[in-house]
Amino acid sequence: MRINYFLCCLALWGLGCKKENLLLLPEKTHSTVILTDSIPDGGWLKLHIKQDTSTIDETVLVFQHNASTYYSPQSDAIYFQGMGIASLSSLTADSIPCAIQTRPYKADLQLKLRVGIRQSGDYNIGMSSLPAIPSDIKILLVDSLRQDTTDLRVNNYSFSTAPISYGTPESKRFKLLLR
């Protein structure tokens, strides 16, 4: 077992893997290495904001192991606010709003969202797609204003609000957690 561990560590040395991120199988199985990351490259999810049953806006998160958390014009699509009554985008680590953002996945990923609301009313945020996202990963929406958390795999998150302008604390009230 000691030799297998050494060989696995040596083989993964160039990949930047750390001992605490590896799980070695018993020697009988000819030692295969499993990484704790569980979303494959190209896995993605789509969030939407709706009023009644009409989708108003969407944002997409794509998971790629070698992606940056900072805005990259090669892999992210910057968000341009339209004239709709509500808008939804994800924020990169350098606070750039994106319509499509490519991120590396790690356990307990926290991602800031930005909303804009031009008209008072009742809205909901939910998911419309999640190809290749394993079912054991929880996708939680956190509302810091109401101090509420919703599992988006189970329910959409409903809220009532007055208009919300970009740049205000209310516009950054939501974040997404993947656990």
pLDDT tens, residue by residue, 13-62: 444 444 444 444 444 444 333 345 689 999 999 999 999 888 899 999 99
pLDDT over 70 at 66, yes or no? yes
For residues 143 and 164, membership in a common domain is answered with: yes
Q: Which residues contact 76 (CB under 8 A, 6 or more apart)?
A: 92, 96, 98, 100, 101, 102
For residues 17 and 77, membership in a common domain is answered with: no
pLDDT at 30: 40
Higher pLDDT, 88 or 129: 88
pLDDT at 37: 61
For residues 50 and 31, membership in a common domain is answered with: no
As a residue count, the chain comes to 179
For residues 25 and 86, membership in a common domain is answered with: no
Least confident stretch, 6-10, 94-98, 124-128: 6-10
For residues 143 and 56, membership in a common domain is answered with: yes
Q: Which residues contact 148 (CB under 8 A, 6 or more apart)?
A: 142, 157
Distance between terminal CA atoms of the chain?
31
For residues 21 and 84, membership in a common domain is answered with: no
Domain residues for the domain of 19 are 2-35
pLDDT at 53: 86
For residues 83 and 11, membership in a common domain is answered with: no
114 vs 81: CA distance, rounded Å:
11
pLDDT over 80 at 179, yes or no? yes
Q: What percent of the chain has pLDDT over 70?
A: 79
For residues 26 and 51, membership in a common domain is answered with: no
Amino acid identity for residue 54 in this structure: S
pLDDT over 90 at 165, yes or no? yes
Q: Which residues contact 28 (CB under 8 A, 6 or more apart)?
A: none
For residues 102 and 20, membership in a common domain is answered with: no
Q: Which residues contact 88 (CB under 8 A, 6 or more apart)?
A: 47, 48, 49, 56, 57, 58, 59, 113, 114, 115, 125
Interior/surface letters 76-97, b for 16+ CB within 10 angstroms, e for the rest? beebeeeeebbbbbbbbeeebb
For residues 158 and 110, membership in a common domain is answered with: yes
pLDDT over 80 at 155, yes or no? yes
pLDDT at 20: 44
For residues 22 and 100, membership in a common domain is answered with: no
Count the domains in the chain. Answer: 2
pLDDT at 54: 87
For residues 25 and 74, membership in a common domain is answered with: no
